[in-house]
Chain A
Amino acid sequence: MATGPDPAKTARGNLPPLSLHVPEPNFRPGDPVDYSFLDIPPPGLLPRPDETCPATETTPLCSGMVRVLGNDHRAVGPWDPKLDPETLRRMLRAMALTRAFDDRMYRGQRQGKTSFYMKCTGEEATSVASTFALAADDMVFPSYRQQGILIARGYPLTEMINQIYSNKADKLKGRQLPIMYSCREHNFFTISGNLATQYPQAVGWAMASAIKGDSRIATAWVGEGSSAEGDFHAAMTFAAVYNAPVVLNVVNNQWAISSFSGFAGAERSTFANRAVGYGIAGIRVDGNDALAVYAATRWAANRARANGGPTLIEHFTYRAEGHSTSDDPSAYRSAHEREEWPLGDPIMRLKRHLIELGEWSLEQQEAMDAELVDLVKAATKEAEKNGILGHGLHHPFHTMFEDVYKELPWHLEEQAEQAIRERQTKWPEWKPE
């Protein structure tokens, strides 16, 4: 028997009623934009601890922001990776190519050549500069906005476009949504449309590499919105418990479709700070600063390789374009957000830096941009020879039933015959491929 007062009957006195907090972004369509609330520390401020330091030493890096390039386009501080000009130019080129590719594919979707496309405009550094800091045989577990990895790893553009067009040369046989690439040869794990699922998989891959005494590490990317998924936390726990050699990236581009980062918890803490609770290393980095992204990734990769364990990197950036070709961001955010973004554009910043070093010029940039446009155009033409979505040049019908299982079971063979018969019934002149 309860002896105390019955809580259900206890008067609440003059306490105010409880109220629910629903996060609200700072600006909506039509609002002027003022980013002065953002705490953006100057470059060169944060220390660069030893790569094998205890995780707690990175705590200041989790709420601060690692930055290398300043407003004067010079590199400063302990995180300056001191890359040689040739590497910088290659990085710039890969980022510019990613953007040229995005622009062309976006137009392709609008022209009805494919069903769907997703740009990564403004976020090129978070994939390209990261990739430059990894070894070519490190396994990457990307999300859908990391086309820059494939481009940085030299994957043929035509192959990417074949996949986007789901045509007869698409090595994924027209099964995946455009942009959901897969390339084992380039150590690029197949992309899932189900968010965050690749995160624990990357940790598992890294654990396996450790079990085998391999030297390869794993990396994964997730959007800040997707970091709310349970998979994110499962991955963090496993990474911490097994000290897995993995680099976990959160690309905080401020928006998850129409939901601002507050809906993933950004109002309370940075995403990098989540590392603290798990006892792993964490770094928050200016995601529009290619040098800072490179340096942080390099630091984390070296740490993982030295058995120092996992690192969580938050890339603080901005999604300059819509979520996808199916999205209209003007319906939910201020048009001025993009122009006012205080961390600038990653390509412009790297270009300016190279010019400042006397290793690049506006003329060279112009010539390169023109060359890249042609390069993408040529790749597109090449891919179009293999067909565009919905225009008949797709994989043979039978392939639809292959790879469901290792061997084709009887019921799928029967169903394949059915599909081919249907096709013939509808187009009697058609011959099975």
Chain B
Amino acid sequence: MTEAVTTVRRLNMIEAINEALHVMMERDCNVVVFGEDVGYFGGVFRATAGLQKAFGKHRVFDTPINECGIIGAAVGMGAYGLRPVPEIQFADYIYPGLDQLISEAARLRYRSAGEFIAPLTVRSPFGGGIFGGQTHSQSPEALFTHVAGLKTVIPCTPYDAKGLLISAIEDDDPVIFFEPKRIYNGPFSGYYDKPVEPWAKHEGSEVPEGYYTVPLGKARIVQEGEAMSVIAYGTMIHVAQAVCREKGIDAEIIDLRTLVPLDIETVEKSVKKTGKCLIIHEATRTGGFGGELSALVQERCFYHLEAPIERVTGFDTPYPHSLEWAYFPGPVRIGEAVDRLMKA
């Protein structure tokens, strides 16, 4: 139910997220925002800046450094009838709260036969690219896609970030909302040695004022093409676009937007059309979400495939501080896979 929107401005992703929170806190007095440093200071990435001033300390507040407490409290608040939007400062720190997410939030509805729900949206910056070393760079999304009852959402543009976050907050299920921090302030082509383009000049940064939604479970075709289907999300979309542009490859690039629920239809249709499939994510390879995607494509599109499915991922090592850019699935790694697919 998209309402009429008025002005369109160009924002960066962090501003779009901030706006989504403003919009939802205004519309629904049950929306509460909390986490380490999110109140007075507005969060270390400033995603919650201004919210406490606008909505008061009862709806926007700082918390103890206790992720288990943050998510546990959010489960209780959700059961009460609030719509908590807790922030975990970095996705790397979600683990102390894992039991609350996996054993409690994810199964509350199931185990109470719908008597209780946990409509929380856990926001957290994830992924590398800011020289955060191994404890500020991880991409743990596959952990959550493995848990029945959780939804996992990852935006790739400011427009989507705002619309998807609004949908996530309105959703009655627990949602993990991972924000690719590398592209908070501008898209990233994957070249560490080139300046980052600001969002102001990039598509996807036109963000309408007020309320609008981007539905969960619906992928976005970033560009149509015939040569191959590139399936990715978050930062990796921008890298894929840069590579295909440079190589002049007419690829169909699909931004999944949500991993669970997955828009398999869009993926299937595309792979059946192109006959080739490249899957990209930044997370470690083994047991990554790419494996699931690859299995799905194989199950549904086997007779249409003209080449083996390609997976480009981070390496199976922790994120190394000084070699961060070598770990990152950059244009060379993606370029090689594209070449292999083109030759096949």
Contact status B37-A412, CB under 8 Å? no
Residue of B nearest to A324 (CB): B44
Contact status A256-B65, CB under 8 Å? yes
A24 within 8 A of B: yes
Cβ proximity bits A235-260 to B, threshold 8 Å, 1 near / 0 not: 00000000000000000000011110
Contact status A231-B96, CB under 8 Å? yes
A368 within 8 A of B: no
A167 CB contacts on chain B under 8 angstroms: 322
B132 CB contacts on chain A under 8 angstroms: 177
Contact status B37-A259, CB under 8 Å? yes
Contact status B96-A229, CB under 8 Å? yes
Contact status A22-B317, CB under 8 Å? no
A406 within 8 A of B: no
Chain A nearest Cβ from B269, distance in angstroms: 31
Tell me the dominant secondary structure on chain B's binding face.
loop
In the assembled complex, the Cα of A421 lies from the Cα of B65 at a distance in Å of 42
Residue of B nearest to A222 (CB): B65
Tell which of A4-12, A42-50, A67-75, A392-400 binds the partner: A392-400
Given A265-B64, A404-B316, A415-B316, are A257 and B36 neighbors across the interface (CB < 8 Å)?
A: yes
Contact status A175-B41, CB under 8 Å? no
A418 CB contacts on chain B under 8 angstroms: 315, 333
A276 within 8 A of B: no
- How many contacts between A and B, using CB within 8 angstroms? 148
Given A22-B61, A226-B65, A331-B41, are A177 and B136 neighbors across the interface (CB < 8 Å)?
A: yes
**B282-326 CB contacts (< 8 Å) to partner A:** 285-286, 315-318, 320-323, 326
A65 within 8 A of B: no
In the assembled complex, the Cα of A177 lies from the Cα of B135 at a distance in Å of 8
A228 within 8 A of B: yes
B110 within 8 A of A: no
In the assembled complex, the Cα of A422 lies from the Cα of B325 at a distance in Å of 11
Tell me the dominant secondary structure on chain A's binding face.
loop
Number of chain A residues whose Cβ lies closer than 8 Å to a Cβ of chain B:
58
Contact status A193-B332, CB under 8 Å? no
In the assembled complex, the Cα of A150 lies from the Cα of B66 at a distance in Å of 28
A412 CB contacts on chain B under 8 angstroms: 315-317
Contact status B134-A422, CB under 8 Å? no
Residue of B nearest to A422 (CB): B332
Given A28-B40, A411-B286, A415-B285, are A174 and B135 neighbors across the interface (CB < 8 Å)?
A: no
Cβ proximity bits A376-413 to B, threshold 8 Å, 1 near / 0 not: 00000000000001100011010011001000000110
Given A177-B136, A411-B316, are A194 and B36 neighbors across the interface (CB < 8 Å)?
A: no
13 further A-B contacts with Cβ under 8 Å, apart from A177-B135, A389-B131, A422-B333, are A170-B322, A174-B321, A180-B133, A225-B65, A259-B41, A264-B65, A332-B40, A390-B322, A397-B323, A400-B317, A415-B316, A422-B326, A423-B326
**Chain A residues packing against B (C-beta within 8 Å):** 19-20, 22-24, 28, 115-116, 166-167, 170, 173-178, 180, 192-196, 225-226, 228-231, 256-259, 263-265, 326-327, 331-332, 389-390, 394-395, 397, 400-401, 404, 411-412, 415, 418-419, 421-423, 425-426
**Chain B residues packing against A (C-beta within 8 Å):** 36-37, 39-41, 44, 57-58, 61-69, 92-93, 95-96, 131-136, 285-286, 315-318, 320-323, 326-327, 330, 332-333, 335-336
